[in-house]
Every structure is written in C-alpha cells, then in structure tokens.
Structure 1
C-alpha cells in the first residue's frame, strides 16, 4: 500500500512540477496533441468498420438466428473496440515519446536538475540512435502488452466476469505498461536496457500500478491525455529516481535506493548532507607515579622496597646540605 500511494504521489508531483513551470508545460503539449489527432482518427475509423470486422471474424454465426448473430457480433465489436482502446492507452505514451523525443528528453533533464542533478555517467546518444532505441523498446513493450491483452480479450466473452473482473485486470495491465513506457526517457539516460527496466518494475508492481492505473483511466477522457502528458513524463522521472536510488522516495521510505540496487551507485549530484559536528575527545590520561602496568603488577623490588638512601632520605634541594662536623 505504501508503494501504491507513492506512485500516485509521483504522478501528482509531476503534474505540479510542470504546472508551476508554464514554459515546460507548453513545451510538452505539441507532441501529445499530434498523437491525439492520429489516435482519434484510428479509433473513429474502427468505430465505423467494427461491424464489418465482426462479421468477417465470426463466419460461424451466419447460420444462427438473427438475435444470436446480432448479440455475438455486437459483443465482438464492443470487445474489439475496447481492446484497441486499451492498446491505444498504452501505446499513446510510446508514440508521443517517439514523436516528441527531443522535447521530453529535455523536460526530463530539467526535472532531474531541479531534484539534485543528473545521474553520474549519464548516457549521451545521437538523436537518431535515441529514436531507434525508443522505437525498438516500444515494440518490445507492445509485444509484452499483447501477451496479456489477447487472452483478456478472449476472456471478455465470459458472462459477468467478462464485464466486471476482466476490465479491471485490463486497466491494471495497461497502467503497468504505461508506467514502464513513460519511465523509458529517464531509464535510457542511465543506460538501463528495457528488459532490466521490466524486471525492476516487476519488483515494485505496486509503485508502477499506483502511477500508471490512474493515468490510464485519465487517458480515457477525451482530450485529457494532451495536458497530462508533460506532467506524466515529469512524474515518471521522479519515479525513476526513487526506483534507481538517485532520489528521495515520495513517502519518505528509508529503503528507497537502498544498497543492493545495482543502479543506486549512480547517485545524483545533490550536495552531501552536512557532517555531524566534531566532538572533542578528552586527552588520554597520563600515567601517574604509581600507575601499574597491570592489575597485579608490583613495583621493582617488591611491595616493601625502599627508595635509595632509606625512608628518610631527602631529595637534593636548591640549598645543598653541609656535611656533619
């Protein structure tokens, strides 16, 4: 539950970061707006042709009664549209990041600088190399998403569960992979490959779900994805700083970035904490005239040995003694 709340707070902190810096908020709007227009066109076309696709995909229903055929193909068309919508939610961020890679890269850098500095050993790549890496990573994430989306699509035909449990699982899957996609900008800066990113996110599923699921639900609202996209990139950058140990956890966890995280060694450039004031230690005691080297050690000559000259011998003073007459 703590990680779940931390993920949600990172999402809110990212939105607050861009809203208090209007220049960077506007900086990240254009790629998201272009992506929204493309996706709206695809989903609109799918809505017009969903019935034809359903008829093509269900030839076995041609000989059924009109009611059974209509219900089957209607359910197929709805499930198809919802499945494509879930994919659109996940891939929206990927396409927007691909279109606006230079914009979001710069935005993510500014977030890290405001939080203490870029990580040590940040990987610098040419623009074409960054675009190619983003494309291949996005295709990998999409393939992993389809592994879950296709079975969920089939399970959606189960009565009751297909209309209640399956959509919830679908949004959890969409939120997880959406968080994975949005963290790619800051992860690439650290040179972390996509398979390792997936392993890290699986290790803290609640953190990824707390960040990604509310964002996936918000992306369903028409036009809301555009203004949320810059803050989503900023929040994902803060999440990566927690995940790799280069920042402070949103919930104040002491174990964020704990030793054992192989990427925590690339710590931020934040100024170190002031050292504790130096405490003066008392000087060691000097051995006195009767200091013993051990608890039972005796002075030379035994415990009753007399000093030279007898017990009444006087030490030489400033006025020498006259010899007796």
Structure 2
C-alpha cells in the first residue's frame, strides 16, 4: 500500500489545484468531483497521460455535488451516466487524509458582485460550501484545504459574512480554521508564479484528532508557508517572452473570417492567437491609451461597462488603428473577454 497521503478533490475543475499536490510527490488522488464535462475530460486526460492513473475515468466523477446521497453511494441517470460514488473509493483505500478544493468563486468575487444587479445575493453558489463541509464531515480527513477568492472576506449574501458561516459550519463538525482569515490571503507572484493573483488558502484541522490547532495554524501561515516564497517576482515576459512572434493574419479583405489565421512555423504547440474582431481591437486601443496616458481609469467595473457599451454598437474599420506596437513595450500581455 502507498505511503502517500490519500486525497479527494472537490469542485475539481480541470485539476489545477490537484496537480500541484501531485507534483509534490506526497499525495495520491483517490477521487475528484466536478460537474462540468469539458473540465472532467481535461482532468481525466491529464491524470492518464501525466500521472499514469489507469482508472482515471472512474476516479474523476462527473456529478453534481448537491446530490449528496448519490454522490456518496453511487448513481445512474441520463445526465451524468453511472458512477460508483465516493464511499466506494474511500473504503477501498481505508480512509482519507486530506480534502482539497473550493466552491465556484463567482458568487464571492468582488467583480462578480459588481456586475450582478443583486450583488450575487440570489446566487445558489454562495452556499455550495455546505456540500464541501458535508463531505469533510463524512470522511473526517486530518485536514482540508479550502481555496477561494479574496472577495470571500467581504461577501455577505444574507447579511451575515460568508466567512462566519463557513467558520461556524466547520466548527460545528469539529474542525478549526485560523481566527484571522486575512492572513490566509496569498499572492501567487510571491511564489515565483508569473501572475499577480491573490487567493485565499484556508486550512482546516480536525479538532477531534489534534490539539493547539490555532498555534499550528499561526505557525503555518507566519513561518512554514513563507519558507516557500521565491526570491524574485517573475513577469509574464520572463515566462514566455522568448516565444516566437504570434499575430493574426489580417487585412481589410480577410480579417472578418475567423478561420483566416496564419501562424508562423513553430516548434511550440498551441502557439496561436485568439481571433480579434474590430470591436475588440478598438477596445484594446482605448485600454492601451489609458495605460500610456497614466490615467489608468479602467478598473474591472469600467472595463465591464465599456464592453457592454461596445457590443451594442458596430465598430467601423476606420476607427481601428494598429495597436500591436502599443502593447509591445509592456512586460505583460492584456486580454479582454
């Protein structure tokens, strides 16, 4: 039997968080749960090809975590096919050491709340953490890692801070998280990742099994985690700046054809540009001018408003200057979706 820690991944997506744990060489994935099929297919493919997991099609469960009884015991229906359930895989390995994952972040993100007319208060995803909690309670891992966006610190869909609901929920089943959750905010750029991306990494420990948990958690966030910080901040240019130039084939006659890309010969796979229509290019022009002028007026809310305005009007070719050279001087790439 493997001496690696046994792991379940909830809200697994395409497996980014899980892959980090597997790269450490100290964890073994027992099962993963995700309800979106493209992400499920991606995770299965990665487990099969990179990690040589032969039964990945069984371990990666395409299912709705809200249907808990079937999630645990197995299911068979038209939408999700057939699955053995988490109980089968947990019992097979004799128990779980750690559960990882985090509910969808849209309901907690500040940008999501700004865009939604009700501030995401009516979004069911606010309470998907309750199903994460129930899985933890059923399998009693030594600890869990709950990942989400910093906006969770200010989210309060029913007037009660969501972090209070999460804390009380886990305390009720015998798990402790750090009292001051602000220390759980981590920036990926501090750990040599070429991305300025903040995330909440909430670690919970089984209080029925361990004591002095707050002391341990303070040590983890204040010292242990910081030992893994990088020596410098890497930019996107540092990471991929040596790739060959990649630009869409376009002219007035052909540009509106989405299939009209001509990419230079390259040894790199997937090194192809996204299609930029005239509306997008005009939007990039405005954002480039905003950066160059030093005004930087376009925060996430104004970018959203700009896009909503743009999609209502037709942009003519005469309005579009060439913006490629405007962006060439910056150490990062901008994408607008």
Asked if TM exceeds 0.5, the reply is no
Shorter chain as denominator, the TM-score bin is: under 0.3
Higher relative contact order (CA 8 A, sep 6+): 1
TM-score (structure 1 length as normaliser): 0.20
- Which structure has the larger Rg? 1
* Structure with greater helix share of residues: 1
TM-score (structure 2 length as normaliser): 0.19
